[in-house]
């Protein structure tokens, strides 16, 4: 019986949220990036690749923390420059809460 209730609740939630997520929304036009911004994005991408390629096992705890902080700052900067992609996770949170309450 629990499996049936669980299955039906998941199916109901999927049926309820899928039409809302597929609704057509007007797309925002992204502003064109200036040459400065394009070069800065390339610099950021190169730096991130350098950080990914580095060996963290040889670093001290402070150095790893500095790397994490630097990556966070680079991420913030790219969101400001490029506008970033924002995804709605409200539906996922609601589904998880309901699943937790059911079990």
pLDDT digits (tens, 9 = 90+) for 43-74: 988 988 888 888 888 889 999 899 889 989 98
Q: Which DSSP state fits 75?
A: H
With 0.85 as the threshold, say if the pTM is over it: no
- Residue 16 neighbours by CB distance under 10 Å: 12
Asked whether the beta carbons of 55 and 63 are under 8 A apart, the reply is: no
| Burial class, 9, CB count within 10 angstroms (exposed 0-12 / middle 13-18 / buried 19+) | middle
Give the separation between CA 96 and CA 102, rounded to whole angstroms: 10
pLDDT of residue 87: 47
pLDDT of residue 69: 92
First to last CA, the chain: 12
């Amino acid at each position: 019986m629990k499996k049936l209730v669980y299955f039906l609740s998941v199916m109901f939630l999927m049926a309820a949220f899928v039409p809302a997520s597929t609704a057509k929304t007007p797309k925002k036009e992204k502003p064109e990036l200036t040459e400065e911004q394009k070069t800065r994005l390339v610099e950021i991408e190169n730096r991130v690749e350098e950080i990914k390629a580095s060996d963290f096992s040889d670093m001290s705890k402070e150095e790893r923390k500095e790397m994490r902080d630097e990556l966070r700052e680079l991420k913030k900067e790219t969101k400001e420059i490029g506008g970033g992609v924002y995804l709605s996770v409200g539906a996922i949170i609601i589904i998880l809460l309901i699943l937790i309450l059911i079990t």
